[in-house]
A and B are shown apart, each in its own frame.
Chain A
Amino acid sequence: MDIKDKVFVVTGASSGIGHALSEALLDKGAKVYATSRSVEQASFVHTNLYKKNLDVSKLDNVDWLIRDAIERFGRIDVFIANAGFAYYEILDEANANHIDSIFNLNTRSVIYSAVKVRELYKNKPFRFVAILSGASFVSMPGHALYSSTKAALRGFFDGYRHELFRKDQILHTVYPVATETEFFNVANQDRKPWPIQTVTTVSNAIIKGLEKDKEHIHPSKLFKFAHTFMPWALKIYLWRERRIFQRKHVNGNNKQDKQ
């Protein structure tokens, strides 16, 4: 597709991938309806940009957002569901709160948005872009819930593609690996994994993927290659991540016990 003059809704647009992607889309001549809980406070201005503070983990807000974007710009060509977060934690106490908060934003809101866009565009072209993660293929130590929410999205979109029967209704899924954003601060993960991508790499990959109509977008060629051809390399990587995680949580806890 040609991005120029198209209308995009981007969630989680105040920082990270959402912010970089919105800027790149504006550069390409798109109109962007940017939303997040705090995007209006961001110093991010452009004539084709509209900003709105919204918490999309509430489904009423998703309904409102889609209606408002259509009223304001006449239509939505592409909905980019990017908002999401992670906990980096060891789950040793059952906590419905963490399960619900992360599933509500990362999974429930995205699935609902995709079906809502389809509902409004039953006989018209549309694109839906969901930002997943490499963790939807390979679950990471300390990220059991996060990996679960992203694997759920992969399961959902792989299935939902079978239910769209028009070639101009396309579901794009994006699988970034660790990216240099606020993600790790929010997750309370002081040591960032290696290798780490920049938001520009990811947003360029998404734009290229959209332009070439690619359903599956892998910003990290290394991850895609390793996942496809060298699963043993990922096992070694996981073994190392697991040791780091274990050292932090188990040994750390024991030290506290002794004190």
Chain B
Amino acid sequence: MNIKDKVFVVTGASSGIGRALSEALLDKGAKVYATSRSVEQTSFLHANLYKKNLDVSKLDNIDWLIRDAIERFGRIDGFIANAGFAYYEILEEANADHIDTIFNLNTRSVIYSAVKMREFHRDEPFRFVAILSGASFVSMPGHALYSATKAALRGFFDGYRHELFRKDQILHTVYPVATETEFFNVANQDRKPWPIQTVTTYPTPLA
């Protein structure tokens, strides 16, 4: 696809891969609806950029986000589900809280967004990009829950591809390895793994 003049929604856009990707898309001439819980506070400006603070782990917000982006830009060509986080921990005590928080954002919200995009574009082309992780193939020590959420997405999209019958409705899944972002601070993992990528070396399935 040609990125110029296309409308993209990017979640988790205030930092890391989401931020770098939004900038790269804008450079290529795209229009970007960027969202995260705090994206409006970032000093990230562009004529074709719209920023909105939203917590996409709440499904009502996804419904609202997709409707709002379509109202504002007329359509959504690509939805990039990038928001996600990890705990780096040893699971010694059963804690429903951690299970629910990470699955709600990393898995449930992404699956729901993909199906919602399809619902809105039943007979039209669309792209959905889910940022997974190398951990969806190889589970990492200390990241059991994170690996589970990403493996769930891989299982889902591998299956969901069988349910789309138009060649112009494409599900992209991205498998970054450790990337130089806030990820490891949020996960409370002081030692970053090696090798580590920069946010600008993200694979570009859309190019």
Distance in Å: Cβ of A188 to nearest Cβ of chain B = 15
* A: number of interface residues (CB 8 Å): 56
Q: Determine whether B6 belongs to the interface, using a CB cutoff of 8 Å to chain A.
A: no
B118 with A91: CB separation less than 8 A: yes
- Among A137-162, those with CB < 8 Å from B are 138-160, 162
| Stretch from A13-21, A77-85, A112-120, A224-232 contacting the other chain | A112-120
| Size bracket of the B interface | 35 or more
| Stretch from B42-50, B67-75, B144-152, B199-207 contacting the other chain | B144-152
Contact mask for chain A residues 96-112; partner B; CB cutoff 8 A; 1 contact, 0 none:
10011001000110011
Chain A contact residues: over half helix, strand or loop, or mixed?
helix
B163 with A116: CB separation less than 8 A: no
Contact mask for chain B residues 102-126; partner A; CB cutoff 8 A; 1 contact, 0 none:
0100011001100110110010000
Please indicate the chain B residues that have their CB under 8 angstroms from the CB of A162 in the complex.
139-142, 144
Residue with the greatest number of chain A CB neighbours at <10 A, chosen from B138, B148, B160: B148
A147 with B156: CB separation less than 8 A: yes
B153 with A94: CB separation less than 8 A: no
A96 with B147: CB separation less than 8 A: no
Q: Determine whether A163 belongs to the interface, using a CB cutoff of 8 Å to chain B.
A: yes
Binding site for B on A (CB under 8 A): 59, 63, 90-96, 99-100, 103, 107-108, 111-113, 115-116, 118-119, 122, 135-136, 138-160, 162-163, 238, 241-242, 245-246, 249-250
A155 with B151: CB separation less than 8 A: yes
16 contacts between A and B (CB under 8 A): A92-B122, A94-B112, A99-B111, A108-B96, A115-B91, A145-B156, A148-B153, A148-B155, A152-B148, A153-B148, A156-B147, A158-B139, A159-B148, A162-B142, A163-B91, A163-B142
